[in-house]
């Protein structure tokens, strides 16, 4: 990054954080020095519950995956895997959006394989950022892994002899840097923001980077902290989450840090999304609804509870249109 | 990635796809998209070298309603002919 002589970006950062400025957008990706907000839930949990959501959509590209993408690219750069190559990755959208943004800044080309059924908003954002987008039916590879077509396709693009090593695949499902992002970032942030008081941590089965990294960090601080995984129903409509009976368990999943699994169906997850919009004024994505529904089922022994809100709701407007009741008033 | 090319001598196939050196499921993915660009009744010829294709192409035909007209294995190259029906 080159900065014009005399630019104020060159001068040292004022100690007053209200006057903080950034050398480029990458500095906005969360870290223990610049954590995402932890916000109390005051209405949707059981009365008196002490529960908090960590709003990962305050990251600059809109989701928890900004941390993952930064760590994946840093690791690949350090190992010399990026030189002269293009990127290919399987993603339900958020990792792709963060990778596409970072790749654009670094002059890298990105191809994304994306499960069909992901909202149109995400496809448009990926293409706006210059990524090549390959929508992929889940059942593309009926023989091996019936619900992981996008992952199988990305691996085939990366490993096909005909492509002669042209593509490098970050592989968020198997790359330890995904776990490291949360072990070094999200976990320490939660510990600091709760002053070490957190008793229960709740996140979804997805790539399992958040569960494995945060879970490992918190268990090392205090082994009695309870780590709860949220699993969607089979054939669910909750982008980013995985039912591990129909999808392969990611290689980075560390089951030793998970104490309980709570299964959540689509209907209560989407009902909770609507409650979060209307009662907490939190404009969240569908997976947050599943996570908060699970948080609401925990009793007082779990407090304080911290749940992850992986992304915000704007990218899901077309999904949410189905939620709106025709009886909702549209006239005064 | 090589793309679909129209055959100059369409004896039996209206289009051809070279998937040699591509791992599964790339061949079925590319074939599925190529068939979507054909008209009903037209035939696609696909050459593959990943043996997984022998299982993937019958499954693709079943799922998407294509007709698998022939499968041949010549010196480690699998050749498939598929017809778009609707």
- This model of the complex carries an ipTM of 0.83
- pTM to 2 decimals? 0.86
Residue B52 forms contact with A (CB below 8 Å): yes
- Banded pLDDT at B2 (limits 50, 70, 90): very low
B21 contacts on A by Cβ (under 8 Å)? 160-163
What pLDDT was estimated at residue A6?
67
| Mean of pLDDT values over A248-253 | 94
Give the tens place of pLDDT for each residue, A193-213. Answer: 999 999 999 999 999 999 999
Give the tens place of pLDDT for each residue, A260-278. Answer: 999 999 999 999 999 999 9
Cα gap A319→A5, rounded to integer Å = 48
A143 → closest Cβ in B1, B22, B59: B59
A162 contacts on B by Cβ (under 8 Å)? 2, 20-22
pLDDT above 50: residue B6? no
Cα gap A96→A126, rounded to integer Å = 7
Q: State the CB neighbour count (10 A cutoff) for residue A44.
A: 20
Give the tens place of pLDDT for each residue, B30-80. Answer: 999 999 999 999 999 999 999 999 999 999 999 889 999 999 988 889 999
Say which residues have a Cβ less than 8 Å from residue B51's Cβ, sequence separation at least 6.
B78
What pLDDT was estimated at residue A11?
66
Higher pLDDT, B1 or B62: B62
- Banded pLDDT at B1 (limits 50, 70, 90): very low
Specify whether the CB–CB gap between B48 and B21 falls below 8 A.
Answer: no
What pLDDT was estimated at residue A118?
82
Give the tens place of pLDDT for each residue, A86-126. Answer: 999 998 789 999 999 999 999 999 999 998 778 889 899 99
pLDDT above 90: residue B82? yes
What pLDDT was estimated at residue A137?
76
Indicate the SS3 state at residue A134. Answer: strand
| Displacement of CA A274 from its chain's centroid (Å) | 20
Give the tens place of pLDDT for each residue, A126-176. Answer: 999 999 999 887 666 555 555 578 989 999 999 999 999 999 999 999 999
- Banded pLDDT at A300 (limits 50, 70, 90): very high
Active site residue A287: yes
Active site residue A242: no
Specify whether the CB–CB gap between A239 and A97 falls below 8 A.
Answer: no
| Mean of pLDDT values over B19-37 | 95
- Verify whether the Cβ–Cβ distance A149 to B25 is below 8 Å: yes
Specify whether the CB–CB gap between A103 and A109 falls below 8 A.
Answer: yes
Residue A90 forms contact with B (CB below 8 Å): no
């Amino acid at each position: 990054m080159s900065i014009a002589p005399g630019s104020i970006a060159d001068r040292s950062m004022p100690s007053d954080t209200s006057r903080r400025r950034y050398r480029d957008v990458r500095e906005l990706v969360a870290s223990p020095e610049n954590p995402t907000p932890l916000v109390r839930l005051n209405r949707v949990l059981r009365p008196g519950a002490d529960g908090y959501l960590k709003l990962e959509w305050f990251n600059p590209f809109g989701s928890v995956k900004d941390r993952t993408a930064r760590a994946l690219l840093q690791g690949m750069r350090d190992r010399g895997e990026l030189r002269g190559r293009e990127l290919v990755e399987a993603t339900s959208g958020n990792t792709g959006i963060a990778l596409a943004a970072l790749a654009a800044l670094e002059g890298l080309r990105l191809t994304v394989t994306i499960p069909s059924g992901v909202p149109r908003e995400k496809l448009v954002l990926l293409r706006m950022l210059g990524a090549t987008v390959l929508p992929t039916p889940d059942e593309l590879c009926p023989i091996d892994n019936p619900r992981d077509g996008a992952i199988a396709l990305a691996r085939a693009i990366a490993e096909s002899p005909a492509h002669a090593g042209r593509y490098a695949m970050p592989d968020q499902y198997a790359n330890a840097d995904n776990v490291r992002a949360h072990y070094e970032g999200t976990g320490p942030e939660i510990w600091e923001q709760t002053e070490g008081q957190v008793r229960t941590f709740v996140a979804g089965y997805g790539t399992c980077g958040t569960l494995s990294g945060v879970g490992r960090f918190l268990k090392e601080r205090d082994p009695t902290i309870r780590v709860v995984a949220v699993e969607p129903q089979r054939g669910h409509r909750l982008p980013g989450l995985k039912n591990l009976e129909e999808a392969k368990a990611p290689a980075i999943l560390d089951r030793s840090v998970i104490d309980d699994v709570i299964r959540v169906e689509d209907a209560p997850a989407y009902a909770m999304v609507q409650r979060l919009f209307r009662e907490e004024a939190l404009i969240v994505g569908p997976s947050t609804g599943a996570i908060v529904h699970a948080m609401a089922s925990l009793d007082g022994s779990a407090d304080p509870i911290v749940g992850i809100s992986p992304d915000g709701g704007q990218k899901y407007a077309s999904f949410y249109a189905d939620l709106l009741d025709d009886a909702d008033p549209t006239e005064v | 990635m090589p793309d679909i090319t129209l055959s100059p001598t369409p004896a039996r196939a209206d289009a051809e796809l070279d998937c040699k050196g591509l791992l599964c499921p790339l061949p079925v993915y590319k074939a599925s998209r190529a068939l979507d660009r054909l008209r009903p009744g037209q035939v696609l010829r696909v050459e593959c070298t990943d043996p997984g294709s022998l299982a993937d192409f019958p499954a693709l035909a079943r799922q998407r309603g294509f007709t698998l007209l022939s499968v041949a294995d010549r010196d480690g190259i699998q050749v498939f002919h598929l017809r778009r029906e609707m």
